[in-house]
Chain A
Amino acid sequence: QKEVEQDPGPLSVPEGAIVSLNCTYSNSAFQYFMWYRQYSRKGPELLMYTYSSGNKEDGRFTAQVDKSSKYISLFIRDSQPSDSATYLCAMSGAGILTGGGNKLTFGTGTQLKVEL
């Protein structure tokens, strides 16, 4: 069983729709949760991050973490064609703010297409 499960899609939505992306995980040691966006032929770009459980909002994007259910979500409001990309969830364990960071465990990514 993978440590992080993510539906690969593809997910196609009309412009203006609310998009919900999510990941489940099995490792209870994960404390740091991130969402990356990756455009074709580019590297992943950090979009949102949260520590432990809770919500975080940044413009049209909202990240949610439910550690009790081992479930994280990313919501995109008023989706735009420029949001078309692959969205990757990533996680890391505790104690990584000292000594220089730690490895990330990624989901497979969900391919999103926002149509005009």
Chain B
Amino acid sequence: EAGVTQFPSHSVIEKGQTVTLRCDPISGHDNLYWYRRVMGKEIKFLLHFVKESKQDESGMPNNRFLAERTGGTYSTLKVQPAELEDSGVYFCASSQEGAVYGYTFGSGTRLTVV
């Protein structure tokens, strides 16, 4: 089966610009997660979708971040306007319902804000 696909793999933008990251989960996985790793820190949870609904968005850092999941399929994470501290690697993961051990991560989008 195809894995979790993220694009772009790398994005360099200027401070103040807008960037949209996309994640295509494994087909049939209702659960979709976004995580982020900033330089030198641990991977941290951002939010969790179940189908098209936000189940938990407690990790979203501020209102410059907007996540959507259209029709319960792919998801986008928009950062607007981007700040320097938003630089890092953004990971998406998906799992079937109840499969806490069944996370499959994508390869991530490396975001650099200059």
The chain A residues found within 8 Å of chain B, CB to CB, are 2, 4, 6, 32, 34, 41-46, 49, 88, 92, 96-109
The chain B residues found within 8 Å of chain A, CB to CB, are 4, 30-31, 33, 35, 40-45, 48, 50, 55-56, 58-59, 91, 93, 95, 97-103, 105-108
Task: From A43, A44, A46, A88, name the one whose CB has the most chain B CB atoms within 10 angstroms.
Answer: A43
From known contacts A42-B107, A43-B107, A44-B91, infer whether A97 and B42 are also in contact, taking CB-CB under 8 Å: no
Contact B107 A41 (CB under 8 A): yes
Contact A46 B103 (CB under 8 A): yes
Contact B100 A102 (CB under 8 A): yes
Contact A105 B45 (CB under 8 A): yes
Contact A100 B4 (CB under 8 A): no
B93: chain A residues at CB < 8 Å are 43
**Who on chain A is nearest to B10 by CB?**
A41
Contact A4 B107 (CB under 8 A): no
* Majority SS at the chain A contact face: loop
Contact B91 A96 (CB under 8 A): no
From known contacts A101-B48, A103-B56, infer whether A109 and B99 are also in contact, taking CB-CB under 8 Å: no
How far in angstroms is the closest Cβ of chain A from B51?
9
Contact A103 B59 (CB under 8 A): yes
Give Cα A46 to B50, complex, Å. Answer: 21
Contact B31 A44 (CB under 8 A): no
9 closest cross-chain pairs (CB), A and B: A43-B105, A103-B45, A106-B43, A108-B42, A49-B101, A106-B42, A96-B100, A100-B97, A100-B50
Give Cα A98 to B33, complex, Å. Answer: 16
A41: chain B residues at CB < 8 Å are 107
Give Cα A99 to B55, complex, Å. Answer: 10
A43: chain B residues at CB < 8 Å are 4, 91, 93, 105-108
Contact A34 B41 (CB under 8 A): no
